[in-house]
Amino acid sequence: MTDCVSFAINVLTMAGTVAAVFVALYLYWAAQRPDVIAFLSHDRDNGCVLFVVENVGKGVAEDVKIDSFDFDLVQEKYRDFVRERSFLTKGIPVLVPGDLRSTVILDGPEIKDFDSVVSQVSLSYKRKGFCGPKLENRSFPLDYYSFCGSLYTKSDLHKLRVATEVIAGIRTKEQAKKD
């Protein structure tokens, strides 16, 4: 009887150890995945809104494609260029961890005209899987309204650049006051 109980305890211990190894391997594998996100970013120093695709994960994302993007989000003067030539149409062959791609989609005071615009963007990318490449699909909301109506100040770096341009004679003091 004691041998039977001892054998059962040994089997359960071994099964628990094997399960712990598999869980540890899975967690390690999952931590090495890419995590590609898309969002709008407001560059206050240059007065523009950027569309950004960034890999915030720890793995390489391959063949990143923007599956759906509403080009009405893009200011009319940039729309044709962005539609025909940017990564939004062509995709991104490789996006390494911590890397990003961005493009200006709106600049100037026209942001107030886009305050009610809300859209979705869908993207897909390939990552390493247990049995070969795996296709990931993600979707993100894009909005302008969270930027509109906010008060911003220029960064210290921007102020330093303007002051240097005034000293160098590239800008007048009157132009610098506008910035």
111 and 49 Cβ atoms separated by less than 8 Å: yes
Task: State phi, psi for 6 to the nearest 5 degrees.
Answer: -65, -40
Asked if the model's pLDDT at residue 83 lies above 60, the reply is yes
Instruction: Give the pTM.
Output: 0.72
Task: Give tens-digit pLDDT for 109-156.
Answer: 777 777 777 889 999 999 987 778 899 999 999 887 777 665 556 666
**What is the number of alpha carbons within 13 Å of residue 26 lying toward its C-beta?**
6
Mean pLDDT of the chain: 83
The structure tokens listed for 168 are: 């160098």
Give the whole-angstrom CA distance, residue 37 versus residue 50: 14
Read off the pLDDT of each residue in 51-68 and give the average, rounded to a whole number.
95
Asked if the model's pLDDT at residue 164 lies above 70, the reply is yes
The pLDDT value recorded for residue 155 is 63
SS3 64: strand
The structure tokens listed for 12 are: 């359960």
The structure tokens listed for 11 are: 């089997």
The pLDDT value recorded for residue 23 is 76
Q: What percent of the chain stands above pLDDT 70?
A: 83
The pLDDT value recorded for residue 137 is 96
Q: pLDDT-derived band of residue 172, with 50, 70 and 90 as boundaries? A: low
